[in-house]
Structure 1
């Protein structure tokens, strides 16, 4: 007895794009109805876009949201389907993050969000107030132009549920699923059978497992149908919302949308049987708790969610009669996530900024290599979408490549498309090696980018000569007898000149090729280098956006190893075996510059420091005590103390660099991204005299266990915790 009653939607909305957001919402409702669905739910704040930030404080944002909702209602498209749509609402001069439940041209209920996401990347309490009157509702008086459309002067506003002829629907918003006492528990005990969750959940590596587990758990003990809709795409900021709409029944996932996609509208449907829910709930313990549950106000609507029996189902409707079976959730490996997430983010950024492509300074090292391969991954996704006939992707590709309006061009070859929109450049000096120059050239050939190669020694010499003319002093590298100050200044000027050259070439290369417009410059500093401050302020890590700025060096290496085979790029092997080096100092018979030697710590150690600092919320002393237990079987307490002190000293004294950090794709939970995700000072007592003294005193008392066998599971702890850590939406 299958009933076509459910649908969840992923939309690629754009903050403040009211016209585009309206069109995508309308398209999703149309598709849902064509598939025989009687309930459609969209992502959080889908009318204005989730990432409006302080624009939510502007009355215009709320007013335009009402205008869009009125246009949706007056179109008649909500006839025969219950639609759950998100927008901000000002109730009694208080701004709430709301779901508007509409049906047959009427507003049934306005349900405000009760628990806000207000940490990490989220600042919802800056704009919205939570609804604290649980199980209570009030009258909300509609704007006059909305009254003219719906014929209603007021509608229910608050914590209530929708009662149809044959079932009951309850609303849960994003963060409410992640709270310890989630609303779905109490709603389910009061007889709610269908739960909707509209989300604005961003992508982080390895995060989907957490989300899926919570959705399963929401109905595993309770029973019920759970519809999860999520934003998908870049809506104007560092975050990429990874979609993956889900439908679960009694703890079983029965439908899943794509996690990374170039599509603007994706609708996921499933056919479920309400009798399965009722049978699942027929247990004595659940019934005893339900019998004493507090009552929710029910907004009654004379509408049948189900079709009655299987015989009543329209044969032409694509309702997926087999979808009530258990479904194996598809998870991407972290390497695939890096290949797909930043690539989709780059595509959205490129098409919405109306620019003609990207520019990357290729150093011959693994970071700029990873950035270039992600762009190539984007080109692969574009080619795949074009082959499927995705009209929006083809239209955007034609604009970027400067094709005329009547062009028949279709970007079916990723290398050919890459050559049109992606530009790379190797900027060498006398300190650069033939190996890095060749790696950059051969990588560009392998992915098809438009590549240029130059030597910038004349620029470096000009700056040194200028300095000498003004001061009478000529700076030298350390290997030439110069001081540390001279050595660092000469390294930095090479790095900063590359940034200046990058922007000039990004602005003029399209002109050189007979095209119009400019290119966006991509940065390539990874999250570990930012954490340590191992980058030059305003060097070629300064760019327009950075697709790898939230990814660890360890994960980038794994991604390159994956792409070598998955993308058929044998050249990538040479990047994996190369020693990371900035090539900013002269090489001698006894000295070759190395990143890890310069930093005084390995990239693997940096990942551990980063997770302890941000995720475990450790200061210097607590980090030391944790690492004594984790590393004490192969390092002495005093050695661990020196490593911890060095990390905090370098992190603190370089923290100012994060204030100018290139906006980066957020992918890692220990990102040091300033003023967005990691709110910390940028002027520190960098030697932490009190904290470091306590570390030294404790280290001196502890026994040296470095030659003893490891404790059980010690080596695996951080990998396991990275997988299991709950990243809140």
Structure 2
């Protein structure tokens, strides 16, 4: 007796994407969404997941309060549904939706030019960089749906008046699909747990998650853990790029099956659209789940999800088998080192600002110190990424003979967009070959200048020139002593007094004022050069001024307000000095900027005071930052993490450090804590004028978006310091580790 072959579970191909969306760029965002769907279909996918709020861009912020934002998103969705984009593929699209007078952050499931369901976000992100509850409301009726009335434009396109709205799953003929959104993965009671127990096979997470140093492995672990424990297919899409603010969304779309990563997109890239796919056997998912008795016991009593039917639709490709559509095998994870993150993240962030602002390049005051040299290295890395991507684009297009196909692949969101931008920056005509050397692009894009005074050393001047040459920057050296003397002369005319440095008989106030004059004049000169250097070189446009103050200096306030740290953008404003030193060493080794090795080894110095008596210009400067600050950069990083991440005030910070810094006596620890809090609070006002900085570190003091604390403090902290003093009375005076009496 013959038995008929029964195909119980098809092989299903799913797609996730990274999209470089831009807040309020509705036309560009729509083009990128459309291209990602087309690429997913071309790769055989029957399910496509996009990032959170992809039609408008995640970072619209208070524009979510405007009706126009919802209007334009509806228009974009109508455009997708009026063409063949959703034919034969289940599309999970992120957009804001207003339902019964309430704004929701939603996922919209579309298939065959119809809206199947709208799923609102259940848990909103409202800490750190996020303020979602300012703009949206959570859907509070778990496992419930109700009717949502479509706007006239969508109703005309789809032929539908009402669609289900709420927490639901889409039921295809062969699988259940549901989703969660970004923050919901991170919550203790994540929706994916109930969905998996209710039999959902594929769970999508459309996300708007920003890059932060050492964060990716945490995100990966959550997805791996979720599917290892619950079984199932977890598809993750993310926005990538800078959409107009301080954050860089770092992509890294993923597909995870039963605890194994089977597909991973790039974390840092200049491509506007990147689509990854994986073919999975849902029988493996169901077998995995059924092998755990305790999981089956919980699933048998789990509350069922409301479902909407995907009429006559199979997620599996008809006729697929293990030869034509073999399941995608697990792959090794790619996690960048912190040094690579410090280089690649800000480099991609700068690229988006450069191309979207339409500027001709960057201007950087290059002192030869660690901070400004780090910024120069990051721009060099950006140039390397640009020419590599342009070469790959040209290679792909050169292999296409059909003009129509070639044209369809080109465009704002397509192949060739980086090449087009490189040509614009270099003044090349259409069709001219893009140079393969990052130095050629850097010479057009990066303008640097060493702004010396009589207090500068030849050592830093030489380092700046050498580094600029290795990167390929358009570099110059100037001396601003004439400008400094002119400003002092104006003051002398006004007051009849001439300020002097402390080492030359002046007071601390005179000394500080003379230092600040130099720093602020460099800022003024930077903006003059940024406006006129393109004209000097016979080119059009303007330059964006780059700042170079690190996160630790901002935390301590070790900078002059409105000095050369004031700029248009600061790619290292959220990176610690410790990580910057590692970045310099990495770039010296991996990128061939060998001058950075000497810069990393040199003691950080502001060079604003006169050289030490008897020192020559070639000598290292005696004004050392850590001595000036009264604390090391490593100590500053520790203070910063305790203040922000561990939420410590002076007393709890002192208690924490008693166990962490056992090499110091309680009295020394108390003195350092008091010193930190005094300078942090007395300089806090400087945070209100910080240059917009790439967010990289979770203890950033940027009060404009991230660190919401006062800027006028009782700087002597009388109650707090008095409590520390009372604690000291009961503690030994020697080192805590007992090695010193």
Q: What TM-score comes out, normalization by structure 1 length? A: 0.95
RMSD: 1.3
State yes or no: 1:45 paired with 2:49: no
CA distance in 1, matches of 2:571, 2:654: 32
Q: Deviations over 1:459-488 (max 9, x none)?
A: 000000000001111111111111111000
**Structure 1 residues 312, 440: closer, same or farther in 2, change over 3 A?**
closer
1:111 match: 119
1:496 match: 520
CA distance in 2, matches of 1:342, 1:570: 21
Contact 1:257–1:266 (CA under 8 A) maintained in structure 2: yes
State yes or no: 1:403 paired with 2:412: no
Contact 1:394–1:411 (CA under 8 A) maintained in structure 2: no
Q: Deviations over 1:133-174 (max 9, x none)?
A: 111111000001110000000000001111110110111000
State yes or no: 1:626 paired with 2:656: yes
How far did 1:278 drift? 0.5
How far did 1:311 drift? 3.7
2:601 match: 577
State yes or no: 1:348 paired with 2:318: no
Q: How does 1:605-616 map to 2 (within 5 A)?
A: 605-616=635-646
How far did 1:3 drift? 1.4
CA distance in 2, matches of 1:57, 1:484: 50
Q: How does 1:246-325 map to 2 (within 5 A)?
A: 246-282=254-290, 283-302=292-311, 303-307=313-317, 310-311=320-321, 321-323=326-328, 325=329
1:228 match: 236
Moved more, 3-12 or 256-265: 3-12
1:593 match: 623
Q: Deviations over 1:415-464 (max 9, x none)?
A: 01100111000000000001011111111111110001000000000000
CA distance in 2, matches of 1:37, 1:214: 25
State yes or no: 1:216 paired with 2:216: no
CA distance in 1, matches of 2:320, 2:419: 40
1:719 match: none
**Structure 1 residues 705, 328: closer, same or farther in 2, change over 3 A?**
farther
Contact 1:386–1:411 (CA under 8 A) maintained in structure 2: no
How far did 1:381 drift? 0.3
1:435 match: 459
How far did 1:312 drift? 9.1
The list of structure 1 runs, each at least 4 consecutive aligned residues, that deviate by more than 3 angstroms after superposition, is 308-313, 707-710
How far did 1:5 drift? 2.5
1:126 match: 134
CA distance in 2, matches of 1:2, 1:156: 27
State the secondary structure of the residue aligned to 2:15.
Answer: strand
2:83 match: 75
How far did 1:40 drift? 0.1
CA distance in 1, matches of 2:318, 2:376: 55
Q: Deviations over 1:391-433 (max 9, x none)?
A: 10010111222334x3514132100110011100000000000
1:714 match: none
CA distance in 2, matches of 1:150, 1:309: 30
Q: Deviations over 1:72-97 (max 9, x none)?
A: 01012101000000111000111000
State yes or no: 1:694 paired with 2:723: yes
1:725 match: none
Q: Deviations over 1:189-245 (max 9, x none)?
A: 111111000000000011000000001111111110000000010111000001000
1:142 match: 150
State the secondary structure of the residue aligned to 1:107.
Answer: strand
State yes or no: 1:617 paired with 2:653: no
**Structure 1 residues 281, 441: closer, same or farther in 2, change over 3 A?**
same
State the secondary structure of the residue aligned to 1:452.
Answer: strand
State which of 531, 535, 540 in structure 1 corresponds to 2:559: 535
2:701 match: 672
CA distance in 2, matches of 1:143, 1:630: 59
Q: How does 1:497-576 map to 2 (within 5 A)?
A: 497-576=521-600
Contact 1:3–1:309 (CA under 8 A) maintained in structure 2: no
How far did 1:4 drift? 3.3
How far did 1:285 drift? 1.2
How far did 1:613 drift? 0.5
Contact 2:280–2:327 (CA under 8 A) maintained in structure 1: no
1:101 match: 109
How far did 1:300 drift? 1.0
State yes or no: 1:60 paired with 2:64: no
How far did 1:2 drift? 6.8
Q: What TM-score comes out, normalization by structure 2 length? A: 0.93
What runs of 5+ residues in structure 2 fail to find an aligned partner?
1-8, 394-414, 615-620
How many residue pairs align between the two structures? 702
State the secondary structure of the residue aligned to 2:715.
Answer: coil
Contact 1:239–1:666 (CA under 8 A) maintained in structure 2: yes
How far did 1:322 drift? 4.9
What runs of 5+ residues in structure 1 fail to find an aligned partner?
711-729
1:703 match: 732
